[in-house]
Structure 1
Amino acid sequence: MSVFVSEFQLGGDGLRVAVKDTIDIAGHRTQCGSRALADSAPAERNADVVDAVLGAGWRIVGKTNLHELAFGVTGINDWTGTPQNPQAPDRVPGGSSSGSAVAVASGLADIALGTDTGGSVRVPAACCGIAGLKPTYGRVSRVGVHPAASSLDCVGPFAARMDHLITAMRVICPDFREVAAPGAGARVALLEVAAETNLLSRIGVAADRAGWRRDSLRLEGFDEAFSAGLSVINHENWAALGALTGKGLLGADVEQRLLAASRTDAAELAEAEAVRLRFSRAVDAALEDYEVLLLPTLPGLPPLLREARGGSKTVAGMTALVRPFNLSGYPALSVPVELECGGLKIGLQIVGRKGHDELVCAFGAQLEQALAAERPANKKTA
């Protein structure tokens, strides 16, 4: 299934953890899913999050595959292979942390670590039907994570169960504290975004099932934040990875995106930073009225593999609902929700105040519990 780029056993006998191959593990190469880094020297020390995992007595089971250089959203990688989406083998696994999501979804790991610069934890979590968290920017250490410098990228956990995801955050985020579950009738806002009607409807039903009081809200600057986020990603990725182009070692898709990224100029970057500030203020204002914001993780179902390879326009829009929260730095969690009884799981995204990752996870756990309670009744009437 091309889930792992290398499999090995390291650590104690606790939970099994898979680690994205952009995160250093001492004695192992960090190749970032790219032929261009195939001959890189083994890492000399562990990333901070790896030391945290090993310190907890957990067992690392390998380094996971990804979209090359973590610069893509489908998870397709023709050099290392493309991990197969366990819940929909004909659809993309999502990227860039494809192998991490698939490792958890297929039962090869209890927890996986990925990175999220523009949706790279939440998108594959939604594609594969599991939970994935992008923490508040800067809350989890990025020491030993590639690229070394980023104003957007976050290390985040995947898990099939919210209790595992919360446990993972306690380990990799030392100041993470448990909070009480949201009270009855917690106020939430379902954002008005461009997504398929059936997804929006199902997310509304799920919120109702959890007992939350929901309003609709249009968030100003959302589309501008999506575009501005790409400008920042392009600028920072070109600075970090541009030297790898022109050598015939990169996949065509990544080579083309990096060359396009090189054209990001100072004026475009300055406007992106202005958008970052305006959008952050808009989110802050919304979160004064609501405890969390809700929206789909993906605007539609994950693209079919054949569509993605054919250059379908749906691929470009896969991060439309996630990237704005990288630009602004808010914690954002994708929780799986069945689209229909026994059918494909989609992602419901929960966004909270900066530094309130615990509350975001508490909402996710409450939702998971509410949906688990409704499942037997649904099956009886199916």
Structure 2
Amino acid sequence: MYVAPARFSGPRGQGGQKEGPLNGLRLVVKDLFAIKGERTGQGNPDLLDSAPIERQTAPAVLALQQAGADYRARTTTDELAYSLNGTNAHFGTPQNPRAPLRLPGGSSVGSAVAVARGEAEIGLGTDTGGSIRVPSSYCGLYGLRPTHGRISMTELKPLAPRFDTVGWMTRDLATLTQVSEVLMPAATATRLPARIILLVPEGLAAGPYQRLLGPLSRRLESLGFQCERRMLSQTFMACASEAFRVLQGCEIRRTHQAWLSTPEQGPESRWPRLNPDIAARLKWCMTLSDTDELAAEAKAGTVRRWYRQQLAASQPASHQKGSESAAEAGSRVPHAQAEAISEAVFVLPTTPGASPLLGASLEVMEAYRHRLMGLTALAGLNGAPQLSLPWLTDDAARLPEEAAPPPWGVSLLGLPGRDESLLALACMLED
């Protein structure tokens, strides 16, 4: 789980630990972030051995340290962050503490498991295609993928810059909100939506998510929100998944072109040793053409237009202006006192269900990955914020040998720039 477990010795990096709102909270950091005095290996031992000693600390890490967070360790990631499973053949697959027979989810796997095990309060990671949201769902954590570009990606190893974001995971909403206020200082009043759209993915078996929707609708309506349910068709999810998969692949090809274009083996090779599934995916990236990219852009445009049409303000909304933080708006002031707008927020399952079992075949996992990305691609293609909440367990998926039903996350998903709205809404619902 830890790339360098000996680094549990205390705060490190430029600036060190300070007194602040995160004072005493333990921080673990995914093996993509630069930390002064350490090497960044991207989940691969060959890349770790050849990496230079970092001379600076990534701004996101430094901001948390300067707010009082106590940096403890660098955590493992799926290789190059190009997987949602949470597996790593080189450093080992961390055990999911909430569902030991199941995958922990990736690629921010080490940070997620450290937080779920109680070894840290803050797990810093990245999210490109779901690498914060998926392990949050599988490990029963709160996780935020912020608006794309909201937080600096400087001194951070990229996978697909068009979609890469910094993200974080915690065991409780209060800590997640504290971290959010450090990394995303609010410049304007929190704006709460007037409408909530409850998305039901077609083909999702009747179960915990559908049973949640009735009580959730009543709770939202009691707080003054308008609620409606809409089906998310399999055709639409497949369109989103394919568009994201191809566009991400094209970005990865450009990002890693220097070594991907060399022979995989032989004296001229610059390839590191890779897990077979990661290697196969990277080879596929190299087969993508300009025509493939154009077709994917067209599909992505369809997804973006639908997304904005669903969530954009449909009519002017009367409101009172407020100036509360996300935490204050969500937990201390009534809905009517925050700034209200007629935009909407989606509710949807973070993943298609509980985490897949360990040992599933590559074919099974690739098929599952396509279904999973039909959900996670919505935020990625729109550069939008998504907040995963540990509100469900998947009773139907529970095996006789499992001590408890495995976790399953529910997400709030909004328009770009509405990160604080999602946090405020979640705080209201948990109050």
Determine if the alignment matches structure 1 residue 44 to structure 2 residue 106: no
Distance 2:421 2:213 in 1: 20
Whether contact under 8 Å (1:117, 1:152) holds in the other structure is yes
Render the CA deviation track for 1:111-165: whole Å, top value 9, x for unaligned: 1111110011000000000111111111111111111761111101111111111
Alignment of 1:328-339 (within 5 A): 328-339=382-393
Match of 2:344 among 291, 308, 317: 291
Q: 2:294: which partner in 1?
A: 270
Q: 1:377: which partner in 2?
A: none
Q: 2:244: which partner in 1?
A: 229
Distance 2:70 2:274 in 1: 32
Whether contact under 8 Å (1:73, 1:319) holds in the other structure is no
**Could you tell me how far 1:248 is from its partner in structure 2?**
5.7
Whether contact under 8 Å (1:101, 1:158) holds in the other structure is yes
Match of 1:188 among 179, 191, 196: 196
Determine if the alignment matches structure 1 residue 198 to structure 2 residue 213: no
Shifted more, 203-212 versus 117-126: the winner is 203-212
Distance 1:305 1:35 in 2: 23
Distance 2:394 2:88 in 1: 31
Shifted more, 311-320 versus 129-138: the winner is 311-320
Whether contact under 8 Å (2:198, 2:347) holds in the other structure is yes
Amino acid at match of 2:292: E
Whether contact under 8 Å (1:206, 1:367) holds in the other structure is no
Match of 2:31 among 18, 21, 30: 21
- Would you say how many aligned residue pairs link Structure 1 and Structure 2? 365
Q: 2:416: which partner in 1?
A: 354
Distance 1:260 1:159 in 2: 34
Q: 1:210: which partner in 2?
A: 219
**Could you tell me how far 1:35 is from its partner in structure 2?**
2.4
Render the CA deviation track for 1:332-382: whole Å, top value 9, x for unaligned: 11101133797433110110111010001112223333xxxxxxxxxxxxx
Whether contact under 8 Å (2:133, 2:144) holds in the other structure is yes
Determine if the alignment matches structure 1 residue 239 to structure 2 residue 276: no
Shifted more, 195-204 versus 253-262: the winner is 195-204
Distance 2:394 2:158 in 1: 39
Alignment of 1:59-78 (within 5 A): 59-78=70-89
Render the CA deviation track for 1:273-326: whole Å, top value 9, x for unaligned: 233333222111111355210110111221000225674433443333112210
Match of 2:149 among 135, 138, 147: 138
Q: 1:174: which partner in 2?
A: 185
Q: Secondary structure at the match of 1:210?
A: helix
Q: Secondary structure at the match of 1:305?
A: coil
Identity %: 33
Amino acid at match of 2:411: Q
Distance 2:134 2:205 in 1: 16
Whether contact under 8 Å (2:355, 2:406) holds in the other structure is no
Structure 1: unaligned runs, 5 residues or longer = 370-382
**Could you tell me how far 1:214 is from its partner in structure 2?**
2.5
**Could you tell me how far 1:4 is from its partner in structure 2?**
4.8
Render the CA deviation track for 1:42-84: whole Å, top value 9, x for unaligned: 2111111011112112111111111111001111111011111
Q: Secondary structure at the match of 2:60?
A: helix
Amino acid at match of 2:108: S
| CA distance 1:141–1:206, change in 2 (3 Å) | farther
Distance 1:300 1:64 in 2: 26
Distance 2:42 2:215 in 1: 36
Q: 1:373: which partner in 2?
A: none
Amino acid at match of 1:265: S
Amino acid at match of 1:306: G
Amino acid at match of 1:270: L
Distance 1:132 1:4 in 2: 22
Q: 1:300: which partner in 2?
A: 353
| CA distance 1:210–1:66, change in 2 (3 Å) | farther
Amino acid at match of 2:33: I
Structure 2: unaligned runs, 5 residues or longer = 18-22, 265-270, 315-342, 396-403
Q: 1:380: which partner in 2?
A: none
Match of 1:319 among 370, 373, 377: 373
Distance 1:314 1:149 in 2: 21
Q: 2:173: which partner in 1?
A: 162
**Could you tell me how far 1:192 is from its partner in structure 2?**
3.1
Amino acid at match of 1:230: R
Larger Rg: 2
Shifted more, 57-66 versus 317-326: the winner is 317-326
Whether contact under 8 Å (1:203, 1:348) holds in the other structure is no
Distance 2:231 2:85 in 1: 28
Whether contact under 8 Å (1:115, 1:121) holds in the other structure is yes
Distance 1:41 1:318 in 2: 35
Whether contact under 8 Å (2:351, 2:409) holds in the other structure is yes
